[in-house]
Structure 1
Amino acid sequence: MLQRIFSFLLFTLLSFNPIHSQNTTKNILFVGNSMTYYNDMPVIFRDIANNKGKNVATQMHAPGGTGFINHVTNPQVYNLFKSKEWHAVILQPGTGESAGVTSSVNTTAQRGQILIDSIRKYSPCAKIMLYEIPYGVPAATDYATYFVLQTQIRDSITKMADLLHIPFVPAGESARMHYNTQQDLLLHSTYNDVHPNLNGSYLVASTMYASLFQEPVTGTTSFNGIPQATATYFHSIADEIVLPNKANWRINTYNLHADFDYQITDTTVTFTNTATNFTTLEWDFGDGNTANILNPVHTFANNGQKTVRLKVMRDNCSEIIEKQIDLNSLVLTDFFRSQITLYPNPAKSQLNITGKVATGIRIFNSIGQKVYSNTTRQLQHEVNLSGFTNGVYFLITDDNQIYKFIKS
């Protein structure tokens, strides 16, 4: 619910530098294999990003069965690196490399460093991230092996990220979160196949968005053929895995990143710099005033909507974040009028819904099928869950607010 409130208060533009313009196309390159190209995952990511206003163009080099061992000796890869300025490059180690099986993690990291050095030669300010793949489920009766292998991949990619001093996209952790809740093969077409189905690729793309832009993917209306309720479920997973746990994925541990928080008292705003790995910074308060101190306090001459920009710099690279701050008198309770409370969650036999205004409700399962509906507008609902299978469900109110709960 807080995300819905902040959507009224805050617009964030995260700009890959050295090109700062919102209208400049951000070129993002994916280098991997079939785990990248299945279902045109980079295109799904592009569509999500553009739907969120990012103006992204993607390109992919992902021959099947390849890994860093192949890419590091392929002139086509280096030609791609120097073909244009890349704002971000996503590097996916081979499937065996990801788990440290076909090559040791140290050896794969050494090959990755050669690729990274080439990327930075031509695009010195590019954001470079590893892609932690989601593994397949061996059999309906063998999810235990899946979890062991996914942990092995996570540990290997984490070590690789630390050796290379770059973050990684925890797509495998997003898949793990679903399979921890429901062992239903939602993300794969068959058992014993590592390749994701369209659902799995959409979850990967959603996790890519949250990791690269460090903002919620929730709110996009680009569903790429996925039922809305299922897509919304995937958004919630990606946001929950990435955003509260960025240090686990080495996001902002090594990379330059611009961000700040603020508190408002009348027309005075206290800013807290939360940027990382910068050497110099510049504040622009949008009213003709600037500052170069870490945590400024600024008093605006009047109320209204203010655009504040923070620019951080390191090694001739920079990153800018803009936030629109509303100094008008704003009654936050207005945004809570449709808020409802679900309890218990997880629920076993009954779900109780209490709202501040009367509403009808609809409930969908994780693949977008409607399993319950009560169109009577009322302050309280009691839903008998005895006929529901265990898993994740979404409750949608009359004004299309979406809430997740688990039947256990």
Structure 2
Amino acid sequence: MIRHACSLAGAMLLLASSSALAQEGTPETLRQILFVGNSYFYYNDSIHNHLNRMLAEAEGRSDDDLLPFRSITISGGSLDHHPYEHYLTPGAIGYDEPFDAVILAGHSAAANSDNRRARFRDAVLAANELITEHGAETVLYMTHAYGEGHENHSPEMTHNLESLYTEVAAEIGATVIPVGLAFAKAYKEQPDLELHVEFDHSHPNLAGSYLAAATALATLYGVSPVGLEYDYYDRLDPETAAFLQQVAADTVAEFNGN
């Protein structure tokens, strides 16, 4: 897994470490993952479930043989709302073994003001300290921008989210899942595509959650989602699924400089 930095120094450091990170981020090491976030995770049967099923197919396992992924969300919540020490204590949330990675998703508006950006950074740094103390890897889930129908929609929102997540990730040496960039790429290539629910233009619809999971698969495991048969049990049409798989693979490759 390679980090994406905004500064030249940060980029050089992260590129130098990419080989080791790629070796760490393999199916053999990232087996127990905790997702910490908000409703962007849990819509549409939760991103962690889609990722788990995609990975199972990629590894030749069935849906009856899934990995111990856990998602804890607070509706409308920010990262500083979560009690990480409790989550990470063995046995506290039903897992006796420590997590291999913790994926953090900030509030959807985390990059919308200087105060929010500072709050996000402080929360991530504090969480990362606890996560690393418990032997896990911190991963940042770059959220997507609001859709055009949202009252706070801005053409700059994706860029602002990218800069926030990559800057904080470079500071702590964390991996970034570039979901926000995948959304932007998908909309650019297919402007009529719908990735947000129509009633608030904020939360992901099924296609949006599928794209997010495919992006996470490519980022965390170095596995291309292209060609997967998983379509959430025929709920996503094959053409859309194939398009989203390709967007996810291309986004991660571009983000990693490949």
SS in structure 2 at match of 1:89: strand
Q: 2:98 aligns with which of 85, 89, 93?
A: 85
Render the CA deviation track for 1:271-328: whole Å, top value 9, x for unaligned: xxxxxxxxxxxxxxxxxxxxxxxxxxxxxxxxxxxxxxxxxxxxxxxxxxxxxxxxxx
Mapped to 2, the partners of 1:194 and 1:131 lie a distance apart of 16
Offset of residue 247 of structure 1: 4.9
SS in structure 1 at match of 2:242: helix
The CA RMSD measured in Å over matched residues stands at: 2.8
**Counterpart in 1 of 2:74?**
63
Amino acid at match of 1:190: E
**Counterpart in 1 of 2:31?**
26
Specify the structure having the higher radius of gyration (Cα). Answer: 1
User: In 2 relative to 1, CA 26–233 (structure 1 residues): closer, same or farther, beyond 3 Å?
Assistant: same
SS in structure 1 at match of 2:250: helix
The 5 A counterparts of 1:99-118 are 99-101=111-113, 103-118=115-130
Q: TM-score, normalised by structure 1?
A: 0.50
**Counterpart in 2 of 1:215?**
223
Structure holding more strand per residue:
1
Give identity over the alignment, percent: 22
- Whether contact under 8 Å (2:79, 2:124) holds in the other structure is yes
Indicate whether 1:121 and 2:133 are aligned. yes
Q: 2:41 aligns with which of 33, 36, 41?
A: 36
Render the CA deviation track for 1:176-210: whole Å, top value 9, x for unaligned: 01111232252122164210000100000000100
User: In 2 relative to 1, CA 215–191 (structure 1 residues): closer, same or farther, beyond 3 Å?
Assistant: same
Mapped to 2, the partners of 1:103 and 1:212 lie a distance apart of 30
- Whether contact under 8 Å (2:195, 2:204) holds in the other structure is yes
SS in structure 1 at match of 2:33: strand
Mapped to 2, the partners of 1:189 and 1:100 lie a distance apart of 21
- Whether contact under 8 Å (1:161, 1:168) holds in the other structure is yes
Number of residue pairs the alignment of both structures matches: 223
SS in structure 2 at match of 1:176: helix
User: In 2 relative to 1, CA 213–192 (structure 1 residues): closer, same or farther, beyond 3 Å?
Assistant: same
Q: 1:184 aligns with which of 179, 192, 206?
A: 192
- Whether contact under 8 Å (1:137, 1:193) holds in the other structure is yes
Mapped to 2, the partners of 1:61 and 1:67 lie a distance apart of 12
Offset of residue 139 of structure 1: 2.5
**Counterpart in 1 of 2:4?**
none
**Counterpart in 2 of 1:45?**
51
Offset of residue 29 of structure 1: 0.7
Unaligned regions of 5+ residues in structure 1, if any? 1-13, 249-408
Structure number with the bigger relative contact order (C-alpha 8 A, sep ≥ 6) is: 2
Mapped to 1, the partners of 2:254 and 2:188 lie a distance apart of 18
Mapped to 1, the partners of 2:114 and 2:48 lie a distance apart of 26
Offset of residue 38 of structure 1: 1.1
Amino acid at match of 2:163: D
SS in structure 2 at match of 1:186: coil
- Whether contact under 8 Å (1:210, 1:238) holds in the other structure is yes
**Counterpart in 1 of 2:165?**
157
Q: TM-score, normalised by structure 2?
A: 0.77
**Counterpart in 1 of 2:245?**
235
Amino acid at match of 2:71: M
Offset of residue 113 of structure 1: 1.4
Mapped to 2, the partners of 1:149 and 1:219 lie a distance apart of 31
